[in-house]
Structure formats: structure tokens, C-alpha cells
Amino acid sequence: MKDSELWEAMTRRDSLFDGQFVFAVRTTGIYCRPSCPSKRPKRENVEFFANTTEATAAGYRACLRCKPDAPKLVPPNRAEKLALKRERFKAALRAGGNVTDAVYDAGFGSPSRVYESAQEWLGMTPGQYQRGGEGLRIRYAVAKCIAGRLLLAATDKGVCAAALGDDRDRLISGLRDEYPRATIEAGDASLKAWAEEAARTLGNCRLPLDVTGTPFQLAVWRELRGIPRGERRTYSQIAVRLGQPAAVRAVANACAKNPVALLIPCHRVVRQDGSLAGYRWGAARKRILLDADALSI
């Protein structure tokens, strides 16, 4: 980054840049995080360093207020806390526990409120989820794609799952493990056409979706669907667009929970330094998909 960009990040106390650089003040001999709440010095008294080691080597000492030499602890935000509770709730249901007990074990205070909202983020009632999707009818199709094979699964409402892998039988087995009591069967020619279109276009097709998630996850996934083929975004850029610049980790978690490969193109999101980060279906596939995206522009 240019010094002018570092200065702008520092003057607005942007916590997204904490850990990416420090600024030092010549008149005080102190270096700080970009987000330090202290009064901002004059521009001519400031110099920037890539890390605390460089600042210390230049003769500066760490600020006692923002403690730039200490690891930054990022507390979970409300969306992350809620997502963790819901994951614990789902795990308790899968373990066969009583629904009411699962509510309290997960950290919720009111069973009624969980029941009211469960249809939105489970896609079914808690009892139905506990019974492994009993009563659901899910059809699937598998198509070859540049990253191996793509399994597309759909309810009557739309695509509920899309997964990448090398082994067709293993992909189907994974779908059955997720919904052990649902009626799962091979789809017709129209679903096969959907799968082939998604594989050919790398997700650049507007198929109807039937996915559930927290409000924050759904907002992240909407942003991801707006990334054009051939372009990339960083986790921090997504967080800023959602009006929650500190929620970078929550954005990464939402990408990891994406249930539909390609159709919600989480492979187009990378770290601030351009490195790939993780990918639910494997880092090697993420590289293949990004390279294929680049060739299409």
C-alpha cells in the first residue's frame, strides 16, 4: 500500500488494518496500531512500518494504550454467537437428544423463539431435522466439471445442495448422510440439465435456490452471488459492503458454510494479500476454478 493509503487507514482508525502495519510518531518515539484511539499526530511526524519488529529495530517503543505488540483478540460479534448456538443446536438434534433439551444445551433461553425461527434457518421443523429430513423429497444429478464432478441436489423449491468431488458415489453418499431419512432419488433430465449448466458456466447461471442460514450468512451469500466471473473480492471488502467492517472472520465463516458450490461462488473470495485461504471443497479446486474464471474474461 502507498503511504497515502496507510495514512488514510490510520486517520480513520480502521481496525481492519491492525496487524498489517504500524505507524510510529517521531516526536514521542512510540508506535501504534492503526486503530489506536490516541490523538492523531501531524503527518510530517509519522512513519510507517510493516510490523512491530521493524518499528522496534528503528528505535520506537510500543504504545501502552493500544498494545500493538500483543496479539489482537477479536471478540465474536452477535451474528457469530448466534451461528455457534445454531450449530450446537443442530449437533444436539443429530445426536438424538430431546428438542427442548437441545435448545437449552445450545445456549438459547426460549424454546418458543427457536421454534418460531427454525423453519428459516433449518429449512424444516426441529423435529423433522432431528429425524434426518423425514418427509423431504430431494432429487440429485451429477455432472462432470473442470474441478471434478458436481453434485446438484434440489427440493421442489430449488437447489438445496451442490458439492464438488472426484467420486460420484461418495458425493451421493454425503448427501444421504446429511439427510438420512429424506427420500433421495436420481433426478430427471431437467435436473441433469441444471447440473450440466452449472458445471459449464462455473455457477454463472440463475438457478432457484432453497438454502437456509443465519441472516448474516444469507447477506454474505447475496454479496457473493454478485461477484462477476473473472473477478475476486477479499473477506474485508465483503464485510465493508455489509456495513460491518470488523466482521471479517464472520464473513469467512459464512463462506465456509456455503451449501451450494459454484452457485454461490465463495471461491472468488481471497485474503487481503491475495492468497487463497481455505475452501470447503479443497484449496486445489479453488485454484482451478479461479484460473478458469480468469480465462473466461
CA 124 to chain centre: 23
Gap between the Cα atoms of 157 and 54, Å rounded: 56
Provide the pLDDT for residue 154: 93
Known catalytic membership, residue 63? no
CB 102 within 8 A of CB 89: yes
Condensed to tens digits (0 to 9), the pLDDT of residues 26-83 reads 999 999 998 888 889 999 999 999 889 899 999 999 999 888 887 654 444 565 667 6
With residues binned 3-state (H G I as helix, E B as strand, rest as coil), the percentages for the chain, rounded to 5, are 45, 15, 40
Report percent pLDDT > 90 for the chain.
37
Known catalytic membership, residue 160? no
Across 213-228, average pLDDT = 85
Gap between the Cα atoms of 102 and 125, Å rounded: 14
Across 160-173, average pLDDT = 93
Question: 234 or 215: which carries more pLDDT confidence?
Answer: 234
What are φ and ψ of residue 128, in 5° steps?
-65, -40
CB 8 within 8 A of CB 38: no
Provide the pLDDT for residue 177: 82
Gap between the Cα atoms of 215 and 80, Å rounded: 11
Residue 25's pLDDT band (cuts 50, 70, 90): very high
Does pLDDT of 267 surpass 50? yes
Report percent pLDDT > 70 for the chain.
84
What are φ and ψ of residue 163, in 5° steps?
-135, 150
Across 136-162, average pLDDT = 92
Across 110-139, average pLDDT = 68
Catalytic residue among 32, 36, 63, 66: 32
Return the minimum-mean-pLDDT range out of 85-94, 179-188, 240-249, 266-275. Answer: 85-94
Does pLDDT of 140 surpass 70? yes
Residues near 168 by beta carbon (within 8 Å), at least 6 away in sequence: 142, 149, 151
**3-class secondary-structure state, position 237:** helix
Catalytic residue among 63, 160, 255, 266: 266
Gap between the Cα atoms of 189 and 171, Å rounded: 19
Return the minimum-mean-pLDDT range out of 63-77, 166-180, 181-195, 227-241. Answer: 63-77
Spatial CA neighbour of 203 closest among 138, 236, 159: 159
Sign of CA dihedral 226, 214, 272, 275: negative
**3-class secondary-structure state, position 140:** strand
Report field, pTM of the whole predicted structure over 0.75 = no
Provide the pLDDT for residue 75: 44
